[in-house]
Structure 1
Amino acid sequence: MGAAARVADERPVHRRTPSVRIGGRIVRLDRPLVVGRRPAAPRVVVDDGPVLVPVPSPSGQVSSSHLLVHAEGEAAVVEDLRSTNGTVVRPPGAAPFRMAAGASIVVLTGTLVEIGDGNVIEVLSPHLRVGPDDGLPPFPPAP
């Protein structure tokens, strides 16, 4: 192997990962997120497991573990975790629609995902420069 090939192999690989905005925080999808009123990790945990993101739901519209959001390459995937009151997806430039319970879809940058009680997840570009940690403390524990 030539010197040029070795130098190319030693360069760090910068993977573009989408981010989401939840409750005023931007979170990079380095790990899956479980969003809900009192989110819980799945029974089978792979790697470090998901980040649990509790959101307020005074009227109980948000299920305990309502939604899973994760990255597949540069795309974001949203999966309704069989929520009781459903998930509304608002793609940019298209009509909003309600996901079927348990459905999973790939969403575009700019998509808004509504889970109830005013909680909205905005899908951000994988080209946005967001570190693995936004410098804020971890999400508070679920009540």
Structure 2
Amino acid sequence: MTVAAADIRRMREERERSGAPQAAPSGPAAPVLRLPGGGTESIGHELLIGRAPSANRVAAGRLPKLVRVGVDDPDISRTHVRLGLEGDTVVVTDLDSRNGTIVVQPGKAPVRLRGGEPTPVLVGTVIDLGGGVTLAIEEP
């Protein structure tokens, strides 16, 4: 069944006239990424992180946010790691970086990520890109 934009507008107008309650935003706020300088980025949008990140391929026409860290550090790859949400889960993917990525989840031993393999992580996880550059996944 196809729903046209005009049908959606008509249904919204009917709902407003009837006084039906509007849908409230659902779900918890997206976790944030704590950057080395103390700033934060929301992980609700895909992030590409590195010393000079670039997006070569874009899925569904949505551009990822490019986040620069370790600008003068040769241990950090240009586009080192990708972070995003799959459902309510934060997923980290090492983008075949030169020196790798290590994640330390709460209460677990450090793990070196395999290049190109998405890895789910918990809030409280620390991501080590090398050269002293670490990122942390935190509650909003």
- After TM superposition, is the score higher than 0.5? yes
In the alignment, the residues of structure 1 paired with residue 134 and residue 60 of structure 2 have an alpha-carbon distance, to the nearest angstrom, of 26
| 1:20 match | 33
- Structure 1: runs of 5 or more not aligned: 129-143
| 2:106 match | 92
| 2:137 match | 123
Larger radius of gyration: 2
Higher relative contact order (CA 8 A, sep 6+): 1
- Aligned residue for 2:60, secondary structure, equals coil
| 2:63 match | 49
Q: 1:45: how far off?
A: 4.4
- Aligned residue for 1:46, secondary structure, equals helix
One-letter amino acid of the counterpart of residue 25, structure 2 = V
Q: Determine whether 1:113 maps to 2:127.
A: yes
| 1:29 match | 43
Q: Using the aligned pairs only, state the percent identity.
A: 32
One-letter amino acid of the counterpart of residue 134, structure 2 = V
TM-score by length of 2: 0.78
In the alignment, the residues of structure 2 paired with residue 118 and residue 31 of structure 1 have an alpha-carbon distance, to the nearest angstrom, of 25
Q: 1:97: how far off?
A: 1.2
Judging by fraction of residues, say which structure has more helix.
2
In the alignment, the residues of structure 1 paired with residue 54 and residue 95 of structure 2 have an alpha-carbon distance, to the nearest angstrom, of 11
In the alignment, the residues of structure 1 paired with residue 114 and residue 76 of structure 2 have an alpha-carbon distance, to the nearest angstrom, of 15
User: Number of matched residues?
Assistant: 123
In the alignment, the residues of structure 2 paired with residue 114 and residue 28 of structure 1 have an alpha-carbon distance, to the nearest angstrom, of 18
TM-score by length of 1: 0.77
CA contact (8 A) 2:83 2:92 kept: yes
In the alignment, the residues of structure 1 paired with residue 135 and residue 74 of structure 2 have an alpha-carbon distance, to the nearest angstrom, of 17
CA contact (8 A) 1:36 1:67 kept: yes
| 1:64 match | 78
| 2:8 match | none
